[in-house]
Amino acid sequence: MPSIVQELSGHRDLGGLRRVVECPAKATVLREGPAQDSGPGAAWLAYLCPVHAVGLDGWPGAANHPDPGAMPCGTVLDYRSSEQQLQSHADLWLTPLTGVDPAAYGGAWADVLDQADRVLLARVEEAAAAGEDSPLQNMLAVMDVARRAAARGDLGVTAASLGYCETLAQRL
Ligand SMILES: [Zn+2]
């Protein structure tokens, strides 16, 4: 990792790796996210091309730094806790997609993901009944991994699985 990343992240360990937009361009900007709730460093760092540096919703930064590297646009280094990453997934795509709001489940992520899984499964079955293949089909398998990991209390794997679902969600 280049030293600017270590410096901006407050030398924290990486909490998760995400691809928040599928874009073939190389990044020219390293966006520094808002400060962590506790301690030093930014909550996240995002590599963005010139187009997405202007037009990416949901990732408001504290500052942009020129990036001469060749990272793919849309790569996000997330330094937040697993719980905070899960909340970010809910805010950005899971709740808009499924209507399931974690606030209604008091932070019980296993229950949140069980309910989200039921909603997605019902949609896939509806599509199948109409003779169509649902693009949600691929997400179901990964959501199942997330759901099981949450049930055994492994929120790191849960967040990583939702990271993959997040990328799939961009194709819907
Ligand atoms: Zn881009």
Distance 21 CA to ligand 1 centre (A): 7
Q: Give mean pLDDT, residues 142-146.
A: 96
Distance 57 CA to ligand 1 centre (A): 12
Q: Is the pLDDT of residue 112 over 80?
A: yes
Structural domain spans, the chain: 3-78, 82-169
Mind listing the pLDDT tens digit for each residue in 87-111? 999 999 999 999 999 999 998 999 9
Handedness of CA 27, 29, 31, 32 (dihedral sign): positive
Distance 69 CA to ligand 1 centre (A): 14
Distance 53 CA to ligand 1 centre (A): 7
Take residue 112 and report the two structure tokens written for it: 């949140």
> In sequence order, what are the residues at sequence separation of 6 or more whose Cβ sits closer than 8 angstroms to the Cβ of residue 121?
140
3-state DSSP call for residue 11?
A: coil
Mind listing the pLDDT tens digit for each residue in 17-70? 999 999 999 999 999 999 998 889 999 999 999 999 997 889 998 899 999 888
Q: Are 48 and 56 in contact (CB under 8 A)?
A: yes
154/56 Cα distance (integer angstroms):
30
Distance 73 CA to ligand 1 centre (A): 5
Angle between helices 109-129 and 137-151 (to 10 degrees): 160
Distance 74 CA to ligand 1 centre (A): 6
pLDDT at residue 70, rounded to an integer: 83
Name the residue among 31, 135, 134, 119 with its Cα closest to residue 74.
Answer: 31
Q: How high does pLDDT run on average in the chain?
A: 94
Distance 24 CA to ligand 1 centre (A): 7
At 167, which amino acid appears?
Answer: T
Distance 72 CA to ligand 1 centre (A): 8
Distance 1 CA to ligand 1 centre (A): 21
10 Å Cβ neighbour count for 117? 18
